[in-house]
Structure 1
Amino acid sequence: MPTLRLAIVGAGPAGIYAADILLREAHGYDVSIDLFEQLPAPYGLVRYGVAPDHPRIKGIINALRDVLDRGVVRLFGNVRFGEDITLDDLKQHYNAVVFSTGAIKDADLDIPGVDLEGSYGAADFVSWFDGHPDVPRTWPLDAESVAVIGNGNVALDVSRILAKHADDLLPTEIPDNVYQGLKTSPVTDVHVFGRRGPAQVKFTPLELRELGELRDVDMIVYDEDFDHDEASLTAIQTNKQVMVMNRVLNQWREREVGQASRRLHLHFYAKPLELVADERGHVAAIRYERTRPDGQGGVEGTGEVREVAVQAAYRAVGYFGSPLPGVPFDERQGVIPNREGQVLSEDGHRLPGVYATGWIKRGPVGLIGHTKSDAMETVQHIVNDQASWWTPEDPSEEAVPNLLRERGVAFTDLDGWHNLDAHELALGEAAGRERIKVVPRDEMIDVSLGRTTASTS
């Protein structure tokens, strides 16, 4: 039986789904898969990109855990591609590699003032409140009024975490340093700006409904945004999700407001023009143009410019991929150039043995579950491309761990993740919570390797 030795770089949902599908689809092959992850823990976006108060989405981890716990796939955590292991190394030990490194940077927002003090990327904020080990431990939460730019789920996550009372996050796995930071936030108003109308938003109904369930937070919507054009009415009548969200928004219009200590404002038909600076070079306001439907499903400017005083602004306009050493990269799209997952060189030719899946393949669109069909497409090409696989000099199981040890890499494995997982659950149980996430990278490694006991800070 022919052997397929596969390396997957990135142990988030995309990489684990690809491993699972390959194990089921590669009939007639003796499959061996190694997952490489730059963080000491697996699960990528689910652990570090989903808000902690989303237990339903976090439940995806259970399915991912089942794949890893079969014992067929090996995990090498705390291994940085391009530093600890390179593409040339992988060619020496595997038949092919799949890159599933996702997209973790913020997409650019080209408006004046975006670089002011007090202007932040949503991706960085999400990494902070999710306890990512490679971001600063503190976050400047000193604004009473905040702008969030974007009309997608990330914008709602950021807005919800900013507006929500910190004590209401204690049932989640929120790290202690994040809880302490949010606890001292003086925020009273969060303003969400989107250039299109309420029938064109990119939210999901679940995300939207959750906003209305926040304790001691008034939902503020504006009647002027609900003068629907024909295209919007058609969307409301024909799309179930849009219909549900329209119903939720209209219910909020009928609510009594004014008693809550915090307010979350949704501004539709509001195209951000500029972040205005104060004399210190700090965000002092957001200036936007009022838009209107253009009759073709889009919007056009009205020329009416408005301004809202804020002391901080978060851009939540999308994510962007990062280049990998020695791997082609499309700087404009933020992806690895590919054809159905087969990676292409700069001149458009296929690179044998090199594949991509997930957001680094198709861009940061779609929900986590969409990566399954994406991985299936890539896996089918891997299986069919046997003639162009690499021929490794040393495909033995011990070659890679020996190489990492020689280079002094403190890599973690599946047993190490089980150690860390159990430790975080124990920390949570002691505090009457489900889990408390360990944040510092060195402490994650020490717990994984059984070298010490971690703190929760």
Structure 2
Amino acid sequence: MPRPLRVAIVGAGPAGIYAADALLKSDTATAPGVSIDLFERMPAPFGLIRYGVAPDHPRIKGIVAALHQVLDKPQVRLFGNVDYPNDISLDDLRSFYDAVIFSTGATADRALTVPGVGLDGSYGAADFVSWYDGHPDVPRTWPLDAEKVAVLGVGNVALDVARILAKTADELLPTEIPANVYDGLKANRAREIHVFGRRGPAQAKFSPMELRELDHSPTIEVIVNPEDIDYDEGSIATRRGNKQADMVAKTLENWAIRDVGERPHKLFLHFFESPVEILGEDGRVTGLRTERTELDGTGNVRGIGVFKDWDLGSVYRAVGYLSDELPKLPWDAASGTVPDEGGRVIDGSGAHVTSSYVTGWIRRGPVGLIGHTKGDANETVANLLADHAEGRLQAPAAPAPEAVDSFLAEHGVRFTTWEGWYKLDAAERALGEPQGRERVKLVEREDMLRESGA
């Protein structure tokens, strides 16, 4: 009797879970069946949703309900707190599985090459996001002593960072933020937040809903300079061909023509200002120098040689995420991705690396919203199943599921399970209940392991 197809998925965020869902919905899942193990370096699943989405976005976190349904399936197992490649290597995985899908995402900050980037008070947005999302592997405190703050970038991460810096701690208290984050934000001195983009309103990468949410806070006054509302032929074409870009531009136009109100925290959205240097004194950020830009007719911009120094106490760089290189796999350092064709990992000669696949941001870079990874996963899984049908996968030496449990036990790996997630979930909800909150997130890895019954 043929055995089920054994697939390992490294990374239990949305991309990995969508890949598991695609496998479960395939014909192969009916006969001879599929057996899927997800490996996650954190003790809890859900990746970006748990550690990359701002806590005041419960709507996005609602995606967890759909992901839950996938992980509830009996063909799927979760091994949390298992780090690739330190706890389990590619050779180990190949000995247990017919195929391995990597969906490790992107968690580091992409470099910004301007002078002064290494000064105290110059921060990567990804590090700040990890702090306010209660990531167990980052410090428990964050310096929030600057009254005027810059955020570089015009994407949704920049909006999240700016919004968290501008809101009061008490506004965020109903969310799942842990006590250390609440205490840190309570001491936040920021009163002016300046978001900088080097291009214009039509080129901003905000999603319309996230942009409008900036204006919902009773403490945040969003300000746009009317001189920053400018379009060329390329910008007009973008607005005509992209409904979201047009909605963003209209929102910014409306904010530019209104009077400035009395809300205590001012959040400025600046366009056509390209950062050229982070200014400092005695090793500490004291400001930002930008060059004014202008549109060139195509939607791109060029500098016009007019510079401005902004008095600022800290700078957050939200210029994109970058994936960590995966050992034993080909790597494109420029894009921060694993080279692939249709999700099949390919080497320098263009040949498919047997039984190895990628999906999500490790495949195509950190672009798009969470839902965009579903189509990505479907393509990768379709090609994996085609390779399986045509006999191109490498059969594992030890395909029995219990072989993985034995391996981890023999190597002393304390792993969590899907059943353990239910225990951790219950513990976090119990922490929030006395305060009328849905949950309070546990931060310490050891606490998470204990509550999960690792």
TM-score (norm 1): 0.96
Unmatched segments (≥5 aa) in structure 2? none
Q: 1:78 to 1:381 in 2, by over 3 A?
A: same
Answer whether contact 1:165 1:215 (CA < 8 A) is retained.
no
Q: How far 1:244 moved relative to its partner?
A: 2.1
Q: How does 1:85-100 map to 2 (within 5 A)?
A: 85-100=88-103
Answer whether contact 1:26 1:383 (CA < 8 A) is retained.
no
Q: How far 1:26 moved relative to its partner?
A: 3.8
Q: How does 1:46-61 map to 2 (within 5 A)?
A: 46-61=49-64
- Partner in structure 1 of residue 315 of structure 2: 313
AA in 2 matched with 1:360 = I
Deviations 1:216-261 (A, max 9, x none): 2211111111143343344445532233222322322243325222
Answer whether contact 2:211 2:248 (CA < 8 A) is retained.
yes
AA in 2 matched with 1:400 = V
Answer whether contact 2:232 2:298 (CA < 8 A) is retained.
no
- Partner in structure 1 of residue 297 of structure 2: 295
Of residues 19-28 and 313-322 in structure 1, the stretch that sits farther from structure 2 once superposed is 19-28
- Partner in structure 2 of residue 7 of structure 1: 8
AA in 2 matched with 1:10 = G
Answer whether contact 2:235 2:298 (CA < 8 A) is retained.
no
Answer whether contact 2:200 2:230 (CA < 8 A) is retained.
no
Q: How far 1:325 moved relative to its partner?
A: 2.1
Deviations 1:20-71 (A, max 9, x none): 1011114333210000000000000011000010111111111001111123
AA in 2 matched with 1:367 = L
Q: 1:2 to 1:72 in 2, by over 3 A?
A: closer
Q: How far 1:340 moved relative to its partner?
A: 1.0
Counterpart-to-counterpart distance in 2, 1:228 and 1:96: 49
Of residues 237-246 and 45-54 in structure 1, the stretch that sits farther from structure 2 once superposed is 237-246
- Partner in structure 1 of residue 26 of structure 2: 25
- Partner in structure 2 of residue 395 of structure 1: 399
Equivalent of 1:123 in 122, 126, 129: 126
AA in 1 matched with 2:377 = A
Counterpart-to-counterpart distance in 1, 2:251 and 2:138: 36
AA in 2 matched with 1:179 = Y
Q: How far 1:134 moved relative to its partner?
A: 0.8
SS in structure 1 of the partner of residue 425 of structure 2:
helix
Q: How far 1:283 moved relative to its partner?
A: 0.6
Equivalent of 1:140 in 109, 133, 143: 143
Of residues 225-234 and 128-137 in structure 1, the stretch that sits farther from structure 2 once superposed is 225-234
Q: How far 1:72 moved relative to its partner?
A: 2.1
AA in 2 matched with 1:88 = D
Q: How far 1:214 moved relative to its partner?
A: 1.7
- Partner in structure 2 of residue 170 of structure 1: 173
Equivalent of 1:155 in 152, 155, 158: 158
Whether 1:232 and 2:235 are equivalent positions in the alignment is yes
Answer whether contact 2:192 2:265 (CA < 8 A) is retained.
yes
Counterpart-to-counterpart distance in 1, 2:279 and 2:434: 46
- Partner in structure 1 of residue 446 of structure 2: 442
- Partner in structure 1 of residue 418 of structure 2: 414
Counterpart-to-counterpart distance in 2, 1:337 and 1:247: 38
AA in 2 matched with 1:108 = A
Counterpart-to-counterpart distance in 2, 1:225 and 1:385: 52
Counterpart-to-counterpart distance in 2, 1:190 and 1:76: 41
Q: How far 1:426 moved relative to its partner?
A: 1.1
Q: 1:328 to 1:230 in 2, by over 3 A?
A: closer
Q: How does 1:64-83 map to 2 (within 5 A)?
A: 64-83=67-86
- Partner in structure 2 of residue 274 of structure 1: 277
Answer whether contact 1:192 1:267 (CA < 8 A) is retained.
yes
SS in structure 2 of the partner of residue 46 of structure 1:
helix
Q: How far 1:117 moved relative to its partner?
A: 0.8
AA in 2 matched with 1:76 = F
Counterpart-to-counterpart distance in 2, 1:42 and 1:303: 49
Of residues 229-238 and 65-74 in structure 1, the stretch that sits farther from structure 2 once superposed is 229-238
Unmatched segments (≥5 aa) in structure 1? 451-457
Aligned residues with identical type, % of pairs: 56
AA in 1 matched with 2:79 = F
TM-score (norm 2): 0.96
Answer whether contact 2:293 2:303 (CA < 8 A) is retained.
yes
AA in 1 matched with 2:324 = S
- Partner in structure 1 of residue 409 of structure 2: 405
- Partner in structure 2 of residue 355 of structure 1: 357
Equivalent of 1:222 in 225, 231, 246: 225
Counterpart-to-counterpart distance in 1, 2:328 and 2:299: 42
Counterpart-to-counterpart distance in 2, 1:364 and 1:237: 25
Counterpart-to-counterpart distance in 1, 2:257 and 2:381: 50
Equivalent of 1:378 in 357, 377, 380: 380
Counterpart-to-counterpart distance in 1, 2:79 and 2:37: 7
